[in-house]
Chains A and B, each alone.
Chain A
């Protein structure tokens, strides 16, 4: 039994333009201590999926199908009290835009200590002491003073650290990080990633890392789920994914990573735009943007299959290399005409892959 098992998760939003299926039949699992990346462009449904884990989908959104099991317990059937104890304690989340995620009118320390108190880990001065030591752990200098500072008095990197401290305050088994490095400059990014590594090993925390940055994925993740238009279109270990991207979208994502030392020619981003969420394309949702699209892609939606066998995998959580492209069921006439070049010298600086 994995730590987290997400099966066939579907989330809908009811908007004025129509129903949006933000997450559509998503399945994946996370093992204890493991770091799983969820990647995709904005609007792919990564953040909604992350929020669903804590049942933080607000009106007008709704989880319409699927199951979420945490240590075998059905999260979707939790009572409000169980849910409250679950949030922040078993699974914690650190949102993107950390400054907005903190309440501007309470001190950073208070907001960390509050979580500690809410879950009965410690109270009073003990909670305060614990919060200060957490702030120290995430690398905030002079934590005792910083404890009583307000979010707006923190720099971007500091506030990200503070949010991490808050998320870690009850030593959760799973930490969901939503775009933890967005908006930070490269040096700080590197520091935060180092910190994550150190924390996950010392707390033995599993991490679901939601990002659109494949570089981050390459550096931090054990396994990866690639999402497009609310679905998983490729799932693999980080090595498999980078050495053998099996979906044209994944390949496209990699192609758009800027490479260090390569200022000369900008690599193309994926042409076209993310599928219209209200009125998704028929067949493969990626086909309007796919350079290898064939007529079959417009009419048939490809299922997630083992890239080796082309067979659908019964156990949705199986740790195989899966992708949703007609190529793997042999339905594509032309095939995927891209290749991956490995340049070992650049791997350290950001997941160097070449088309």
Chain B
């Protein structure tokens, strides 16, 4: 079907984006002082022959562009190589962290929508009233609170003092009740700012839609206020929110770095931070590629969601 064709076209268009993202990361990692071998030898003057041999082993003796092309060649056949630092398979390393990150990201994303959308509706419908004011204050607090700080406060209050949740992840499979329970605090920490953002956006978008003539029509038809809001206004208001919900993927990746640190969550955020610190180029590249792919994918989904929400948008022409 033509929507599939559109998706394919979008996927093709995203190829340069992925190339750009990985190329930029690649050069940044190299512009940063030191390379993986420096990390391995501890920035000491080892026997130059040894150092050269190690560099050659990981192609680090080649020009930058050549290294990038070599990396690219391998990635095309989904071969992510071996980390010079840990000696482990990069794909396996990333795959090991992926479920945890996805679980946290999806939970926080869902939270931001589950809190943000209804709260935004309440605020918009009660425009200028107490509910609206409360939500405004809450949103401001939510956006202004650094998630690092929020995470630690939650950790000490609910983990240490009240003892309701664990401070470190339980020794349990990801898909277990214990793990779900543990995920509550990180999810709140990661999702709060997003929820606040979604809420404000939902509110303003809804305010705008509420003034559209079609709302008056719907009321004039004798529809209940519920139907007017949840059927007519909501769907139109969501169009703006969907855009941001897509952008949030990048936003959440950013936040995950800090939140994973605070909650000792074995996700990709921490992996990335450590890999950058160790100049572990293949791992950094792999993670960045994955993030780029997920952002591109999220935006593709946003586009498709547009088409579902707004019939005026058609991708098949």
Contact residues of A with B, CB < 8 Å? 51, 54, 56, 58, 80, 84-89, 92-93, 95, 97, 100-107, 114-115, 118-119, 150, 152, 166, 170
Contacts and interface: CB of A to CB of B under 8 A. Distances in A.
Interface of B: 212-214, 216-225, 227, 232, 235-236, 309-312
A115 B235 contact: no
Most chain A beta carbons < 10 A, residue from B212, B218, B236: B218
Contacts of A97: 213
A118 B220 contact: no
Nearest to A115: B221
A138 to B, nearest CB: 16
29 contacts: A54-B219, A56-B219, A80-B225, A84-B224, A87-B220, A88-B222, A95-B213, A95-B216, A95-B217, A97-B213, A100-B212, A101-B213, A101-B214, A101-B216, A101-B217, A104-B214, A104-B236, A104-B311, A105-B311, A105-B312, A115-B221, A115-B222, A118-B227, A150-B311, A152-B311, A152-B312, A166-B217, A166-B221, A170-B222
A58 B225 CA distance: 13
Given A100-B213, A101-B214, A93 B220 contact: yes
Nearest to A102: B214
Nearest to B215: A103
Q: Secondary structure at chain B's binding surface: helix, strand, loop or mixed?
A: helix
Contacts of A100: 212-214
Lowest 5 A-B CB distances belong to which pairs?
Answer: A88-B222, A87-B222, A88-B221, A103-B214, A100-B213
A129 B311 CA distance: 23
Given A95-B216, A101-B217, A118 B222 contact: yes
A95 B224 CA distance: 19
Given A104-B214, A114-B223, 16 more contacts: A51-B216, A54-B219, A84-B222, A84-B223, A86-B222, A88-B220, A88-B223, A100-B212, A103-B218, A105-B311, A105-B312, A118-B222, A118-B224, A150-B311, A152-B312, A166-B217
Contact of B221 (A80, A118, A152): A118
A89 B220 CA distance: 9
Given A104-B312, A152-B312, A114 B221 contact: yes
Contacts of B312: 104-105, 150, 152
Contacts of B219: 54, 56, 87
